[in-house]
A and B are shown apart, each in its own frame.
Chain A
Amino acid sequence: MNAGIYVHIPFCLTRCGYCDFNAYAGLDGLKPSYLEALLSEADLAAPAWDGQSFVSVFLGGGTPTTVAPADLRALLTRLRDRFELDDRAEVTIEANPDTVTDASLTALLDAGYSRISLGAQSFDTSVLAALERIHQPDSVRAAVAAARRAGYRNLSLDLIYGARGETLESWRRTLDEALALAPDHVSAYALTIEPATSLGRKVASGESPAPDPDLQADMFMAACEALAEAGYRHYEISNWARPGFECLHNLGYWERRPYVGLGAGAHSYRDDVRWWNVRPPETYIEMLARRQLPIGGSESLEPSDAYLEEVFLKLRILEGVPSSWFDAERYERYVQSGLLTDDLGTLVPTERGMLLLNELVLGLTG
């Protein structure tokens, strides 16, 4: 099976209010040694993946574009040296609109980063403020224009809905603004409040209200409608693409293909074993300086774990799961109530069903 490479860049200009990823502002001093460590990890990790072909690379974070294009070029070159990476591999870089310029975008495309995913989040200034994002809607427009000028033919926008104060109308305007920029791919996420974040603390203390799940459901439906009308295909709960522009790398997670994760806190997976690197960038750097694989933990999936993952991951995408995996009584009620479709023995959630995916998974697997 074709595998993917994930590289984690933990550096950010600032922390956003909703983000609980392994990301840090103010650690810029670590950048050179971190990049050095990434190159070492590629060296050390690659032998175990001998014979494995890779079809995608994804640089996520954090904010990968806080790293100089020359360093990112060196990194991709090292990955190509060490792993059997297909020449036509999909290579994605996540970018913050404020961290890209004409020059940097040109350099990145030239280095081989052929797909760019821009964190737009919203086109409503007050929603951006509620999310504690520092950029403005105009930066997104400018970044998209710059990317197109540089020659990007595969561009994705990330959006978040359901922040404090956002109305359905405002969300529809954000969708319209996003679509006006003609991205090739759109990810739209319902804001999830994580406890260990600035927003999480505000919600816990009552300073800020928790997102209204009914309003988020309406917003999800609005996204489905607007994006379908604009010709995008809804291929995963939170992802839409113009035909042929689905994110190959992310599909790998949902299709349970192998992936190797490089960088602090990155996860790897192969043959029902998952392992992950230590989270603190300093520890990660120290271990690699000693030529040690920076593994922080691992788990072997029991057949029941693997089954549960298979069900909930494949239900996220249009691939669906075979109905033969379940007793008819378990899924028929959902087909009848319009949460699942049974397409010649394959169960795929409807839009309403996607909203209730946890419920479906629990109901199906009992």
Chain B
Amino acid sequence: MVNYLVSLGIFTAIFALFSLGLNLQWGYTGLINFGQVAFLGLGAYTTILLSSAGVPLIIAVGVGAILAALLGLGIGFSTLRLREDYLAIVTIGVAEVLQRVALNEEWLTRGARGVYGYPLPLRNFNPPLVVALAMVALLTAIVALAGWRWWQWLRHHIHGPLQPTAGWQGFSLIPYLVCLAGLQFSLWQLCTRGSPIFWFGAGLSLILAVGCCYIDSFREASQRQSPLKTLLTQGWPTHLILLTSTLLAGVLGVIYQSVVLGLFNNDYKSRLLWLVILVLALMFWQLERWVHSPWGRVLKAIREDEEVARALGKNVFVYKLQSFMLGGAMTGVAGAFYAWQLSFLEPKGTFDSLLTFQAWTIVVLGGSGNNAGTLLGAVIFWAYTGLTRFLNDALPLDDARIGAFRVMLIGLLLVVLMMWRPQGILGKKEELTLGR
């Protein structure tokens, strides 16, 4: 069970990288890329073929990223001067072409038989205690930073709960963290031992943790109305967000714990997850810096109205090209991790256009033009995928039908989201009401 969570975590991080590339292209620059998977596949194949031939992994990944960027350059050079719909169609075509090449050039890719047994990063790396400790420290720092940002976001966006009242600045972070630790402990026990008593523990600590968020607002509100009334009038999205984010924090805690244990116990998947989280964190940080720089401002201007950007002296074509290539390179890196996680690569699955649309789902779900939203979208998407796997046991349907049913459900989810929150989960509502 814990292993399943870890591999779910790896997929989440890989898809987050994959979708961040798309978010740069679509969310920030307004470029429609329906062939995102071409970059993924090119990065994946380049990395594993080169490393199989004896090239060091880091160089292989670098070459993969560069080739993906060059693919972006090629596509961009031929189509970015045209209207955006042409780009969309060309990208679909390129993805198909690359799939056919990978299928038929058997001397290079072994065609439909697929490639396996290629070198994996940190495969035989058994870290001495000091190194393992350093790795854990780095991971902890990343997790703590992300957790802190998350808490900040919650406090900033949720009105009512989490808001410290006047003169009462000791908001319930400490009790909240204690309850969260309890939740995480119960979940861990559930995953490793499965004794049903811990369902009770998990449920209780979840409720207590969420309760902590309300304490302060209750203190203020209780002077005016009953706490129960406060609870019921605060709007269900608030309760839902608090509940799911707390639960998610518990699950992420379980994954974190298993990675930490895995780093000491020489578990390969833990090391891979550690590596992909590190890369994801670095890329996320760099992207955030870029999109908030004057460079990112030009991209956003192009997204809004490229004629205006041109009239103000910006070389629109070059910026579009940069965005397209950079997004492509990031996706190429995601492709390398994708190959390492699967440890078997064949053209049909690797260049499956479904992957492209999963990335689109993630970007739209989280709110396009928002990197944190893309991360959240990836988490939601894979949490959904992970949970609905268990439908197999619950529903009297065969595997193929269950598969179709899952895709149908996520389609439905998107439709509902587009009606209820067209800007995506972290998107800004005001942006929708703006006139052009």
Decide whether A and B are members of one complex.
no
Question: Could you tell me which B residues sit within 8 Å of A by CB distance?
Answer: none
A residues within 8 Å of B by Cβ? none
